[in-house]
Chain A
Amino acid sequence: MLSRREFLRHSSLLALAPTIPGFLAHTARAAAPQRDARVLVVIELGGGNDGINTVVPYRDEGYAKHRKALRLPAERILKINDHVGLNPSMGDAHKLLESGRLAIVQGVSYPNPSRSHFDSMAIWHSARLDAEERNSLGWLGRGLDGGPKLPKGAPAAMLIGCGQPPVALRGRRSVASAMERIEEFAITAGADPRSALPKTEFPDDLRAFVQRSMLDAYTTADRLVEIAGAKAVDGRYPAGDLASRLRLIARLLKAGFGSRVFYTQQSGYDTHSGQLSTHAGLLFELSSALRAFLDDLAAAGLADRVAVLCFSEFGRRVAENGSQGTDHGTAGPVLLAGTGVKPGLVGTTPSLLDLEAGDLKVGLDFRRVYATVLEDWLGLPSQAALAGAFERLPLFRGA
């Protein structure tokens, strides 16, 4: 039995129903986060991340044997266990691990790995090994094709960055959009377009819909300005492009955006020379931005809805080259972050002694990670997307 106060609150909302924005009406009903409200954020590490100096097998004899200039001293490595630890720059990632929000899938690749940036990235995007099928549709686009249509026409996937959405997001019917700056939601028109809306709702269904959609849109714009302005609540992010883009994603999520997948890129990992400091800088940027993002989402009550996947097109060679760098290699780690993730190490740490022509042997097929993310996190069918059934991994809690 509703109290009078509750009833009045409820009924006043209903009376205003035609003229209140759609998302406010939704929050009045306060639904629990549903399976299909889950979001995936993908961070593509472009260039080929040196997995060996990211998730460091510091006790493996091969490490000292193959790396001199690039060998990270054991005492500085952020230990995960007796054998493996994180690059010293990844303090924030280590904290995520300790707070149960990071999973590290080790030795990920695919049969007959390609060492071409272009080809290997195309394989990761399309989940297809056949050369002729790599520039068509992507694993996420195809996965989203198999899912429900989003309300209010939000694009299923969003690239946060410039240019066209990447192959990974291309579906047969699902739509991926791209945006770069939050300013795209700012009303720059001189006069407030809200004054162009009539005071009561149109009797005609189509006009009423347009009116409601406009009200929704302007309210979202306001909300985004409010979110951006609330510095304390907006989260403390480090400097840098990746952090800005993750912050933009967080703002969109706080404003109720319906997209299920957000995709962004961090490039610079192709460290053929002078690797140590460049790599440290990139990993620091990645770790600190990732933690700031997850903490921001937690503060906004969104932590359980978002998982972050970080991958690179290949790892690097075990032995360093003559320029204090490394050349293109094979297997590498995939990181998954979020409160919904089952924290810890997954898979076997690749041996640095038992190699395949100087490269790490292939461990886990990346499509197993994809199958797990599609099915266990996003609730989407994976077989058509991956052109096959791939055994899932224990990457998510309660899966």
Chain B
Amino acid sequence: MGTTARSPETEGHWAPYEPDDKAPWNLRRVVHLHRRAGFAATWGEIQRDLKDGPKASLDRVLAGKSAVEGVPKEFQKIANLLGESADPSGDPGRLKAWWVYRMIYGPDPLGERLTLLWHNHFATSNVKVEDLGAMRRQNELFRKYARAPFADMLNAAFRDPALLIWLDAPANRKGHPNENLGRELMELFTLGVGHYTEEDVKEAARALTGWTVVEDKFEEAPARHDAGLKTILGRRGPWKASDLVRMLLEHPATADRLTMRICELFMGEGAVRPEEVAALAAGLREHQLDVNWAVEKVLRSQAFFAEGNLGSRVQGPIEYVVGAARALELFDPPSSTLVLAEWTTRLGQDLFYPPNVGGWTQGRAWLTTRALIGRANYAAALIEGKQVGRDLALDPVALAQRHKQAANRDSVLNFYLSLLLGTELSSAWRERLAGTLDSKTWPDSVALRRALALILATPEAQLA
């Protein structure tokens, strides 16, 4: 880990966060941490982290132990059962439900966010793979190497049968090249556009010949491999797939692309400057593309907790759907994870079915007409219960009471605004919610449910 004290990341860029008057460790920042590095925190988890301070809270997040509420004792066992039963069922919905279960009930939400990052980075769709078992094994691979040095992830992902089938690896053989795999390896998985030529793509395809899937398993088939000399990225040799992968890992542009992915996940619009991005990429290069190093660097940084990074990122459909369920502690009785997965699809993010190998376009692009109508409808459905497979509607007064925030109508509203948005009840908010809550009939669960659905349908609630 030997970096000198003067390396770029310690000179202002990505300096560690130290709470002060301008950036206090407050409820807003705790909510922010969990919405970016997880799927929202419950009130109890928020209060715990407020009390314990940033260092301990980040330790927990990074160690995969930040979610405590709703986590069943036998979580891993249940998750495995759900996953394994999805394969033979032939129903993709069951596989999606398995992953949603992991997100809501698992102790390591950061791990799941990173798994989702990799699912998007190596975007593989079951529409062509048509094998739930293979998709699940790919997902477990992403989970296993989620924080690993990128060389480990890339080498594993690039031998994954689902990915290889998706990108036509079996069709790519000596004398009959198929450029799909080589192109996406360079354009999407490592270098990015502009760092290679069409000739490189052609030669890469030749290098990758023989890299195939036989009986659902990865195989290198020498008979199909074009062993001739190739010139790739200016270097000439009898390159094969492993050589190409090694060259791409060594290429400086790969660190830039990984940095982009990490910043896309943790940093909001306009929250990070080009020189900071470059500094992080330089650091990644120095640390052998160690993803965990970069994730930790960013999450513990002043930049991450700066005012400009709060509430500056559009929440994707998964975060929106799962986050609301977690924050409102809708663990037991559970909502139907099958139905929640259908909702994320309706909102524009169909797990295991990314629109193409480029993955989902994020940020403002999430907010299409259908998605926005869907979000408002989802909020109401989640709270009322029936349309997400729960017989019981949320009891919002009881939840606030459980956390001793139910003294009066304003304290209840304040509780929910804090919980869901990290903000407080202001006159502007009072104005917006006034129509739905009549103080004469307080405590009124029906009206309060409606108010909560509205809170979740506000512009602020789409951001985190």
By a beta-carbon cutoff of 8 Å, the part of chain A in contact with chain B is: 132-133, 135-136, 141, 152-155, 164, 170-177, 179, 184-191, 193, 195-198, 202, 206-207, 209-211, 213-214, 216-218, 220-221
Beyond the given A153-B361, A214-B367, could you list 16 further A-B residue pairs with CB under 8 A, ordered by the A residue number? A133-B171, A141-B356, A171-B356, A175-B355, A185-B373, A187-B373, A189-B381, A191-B450, A193-B376, A197-B458, A197-B459, A198-B428, A206-B364, A207-B459, A210-B314, A217-B373
The CA-CA distance from A153 to B371 in the complex, in Å, is 11
Rounded to whole Å, the gap between the CB of A107 and the closest CB of chain B is: 31
Provided the pairs A133-B178, A172-B357, A188-B380 are in contact, do residues A196 and B457 lie with their beta carbons within 8 angstroms?
A: yes
Identify which of A187, A209, A210, A216 contacts B376 (C-beta below 8 A): A187
Cβ A173 vs Cβ B368 within 8 A: no
Cβ B376 vs Cβ A175 within 8 A: no
Cβ B435 vs Cβ A184 within 8 A: no
The CA-CA distance from A202 to B180 in the complex, in Å, is 45
By a beta-carbon cutoff of 8 Å, the part of chain B in contact with chain A is: 127-128, 168, 170-171, 176, 178, 180, 268-269, 312, 314, 346, 353, 355-358, 361, 364-365, 367-370, 372-374, 376-377, 379-381, 384, 387, 428, 432, 435-436, 450, 453-455, 457-460, 462-463
Cβ B353 vs Cβ A164 within 8 A: yes
The CA-CA distance from A175 to B462 in the complex, in Å, is 22
Rounded to whole Å, the gap between the CB of B174 and the closest CB of chain A is: 14
Cβ A210 vs Cβ B367 within 8 A: yes
Residue in chain A with minimal CB distance to B374: A184
Chain A residue numbers with a CB within 8 Å of B367 are 153, 209-210, 213-214
Cβ B455 vs Cβ A196 within 8 A: yes
Choose among B357, B373, B381 the residue with the greatest number of A CB atoms under 10 Å from its CB. B373
**Total residue contacts A-B, CB cutoff 8 A:** 126
Residue in chain A with minimal CB distance to B173: A132
The CA-CA distance from A216 to B369 in the complex, in Å, is 7
Identify which of B369, B384, B459 contacts A211 (C-beta below 8 A): B459
Provided the pairs A164-B353, A173-B358, A195-B432 are in contact, do residues A184 and B459 lie with their beta carbons within 8 angstroms?
A: no
Cβ A184 vs Cβ B353 within 8 A: no
The CA-CA distance from A209 to B463 in the complex, in Å, is 11
Chain A residue numbers with a CB within 8 Å of B312 are 206
The 12 listed contacts between A and B (C-beta, < 8 Å) are: A133-B171, A136-B128, A153-B361, A153-B368, A184-B374, A185-B370, A198-B459, A206-B268, A210-B367, A214-B457, A217-B372, A221-B369
Residue in chain B with minimal CB distance to A214: B372
The CA-CA distance from A153 to B269 in the complex, in Å, is 17
Residue in chain A with minimal CB distance to B176: A132
Chain A residue numbers with a CB within 8 Å of B460 are 207
Cβ A187 vs Cβ B377 within 8 A: yes
Cβ B463 vs Cβ A210 within 8 A: yes
Chain B residue numbers with a CB within 8 Å of A193 are 376, 454, 457
Provided the pairs A152-B368, A189-B380, A209-B364 are in contact, do residues A202 and B459 lie with their beta carbons within 8 angstroms?
A: yes
Cβ B376 vs Cβ A220 within 8 A: no
Provided the pairs A136-B180, A189-B377 are in contact, do residues A170 and B454 lie with their beta carbons within 8 angstroms?
A: no
Cβ A195 vs Cβ B453 within 8 A: no
The CA-CA distance from A218 to B314 in the complex, in Å, is 19
Chain A residue numbers with a CB within 8 Å of B346 are 184
Choose among A136, A174, A210 the residue with the greatest number of B CB atoms under 10 Å from its CB. A210
Chain A residue numbers with a CB within 8 Å of B373 are 184-187, 217-218, 221
Query: 9 closest Cβ contacts across the A-B interface?
Result: A189-B380, A132-B171, A193-B376, A217-B372, A210-B459, A193-B457, A217-B369, A196-B457, A196-B454
Chain A residue numbers with a CB within 8 Å of B178 are 132-133
Cβ B377 vs Cβ A196 within 8 A: no
Residue in chain A with minimal CB distance to B354: A175
